[in-house]
């Protein structure tokens, strides 16, 4: 089965920091086995959603924005260990 590398991005995840609501974005790289690119994207999003739910980063009814930023087929032997952790950051200022 083909291997895929998916970069998942998320926006507007609410956290309370110093008693004030703050919204953070994230980026995460996920590796999955899937029969095609579409299936790989769906699986990557499901993995990220489950991880966020299990870490209580979101509630079942929350609908923050998550999307595939990039996806490509990779050779499992060429896989770099670029982490499987969430990288959180404040949204960029549009001003």
Q: Where are the domains of the chain?
A: 3-89
* Beta sheet of 87-89, edge-to-edge order: 65-74, 3-17, 20-33, 87-89
Res 83: pLDDT: 60
**Per-residue pLDDT in tens (0 to 9) along the chain, 95 residues:** 899 999 999 998 887 778 888 888 999 999 999 999 999 999 999 999 888 888 776 666 566 689 999 999 998 645 555 566 889 888 875 54
Res 78: pLDDT: 53
Tell me phi and psi for residue 74, to 5 degrees.
Answer: -130, 155
Tokens read off for 36: 């095609």
Res 54: pLDDT: 83
Res 67: pLDDT: 95
Res 79: pLDDT: 56
């Amino acid at each position: 089965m083909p291997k895929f590398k998916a970069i998942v991005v998320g926006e507007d995840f609410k956290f309370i920091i110093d008693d004030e609501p703050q919204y953070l974005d994230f980026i995460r790289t996920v590796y999955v086995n899937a029969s095609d690119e579409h299936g790989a994207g769906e699986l990557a999003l499901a993995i990220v959603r489950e991880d966020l739910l299990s870490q209580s980063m979101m509630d079942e009814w929350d609908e923050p924005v998550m999307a595939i930023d990039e996806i490509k087929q990779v050779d499992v032997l060429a896989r770099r260990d670029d982490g499987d952790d969430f990288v959180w950051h404040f949204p960029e200022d549009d001003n």
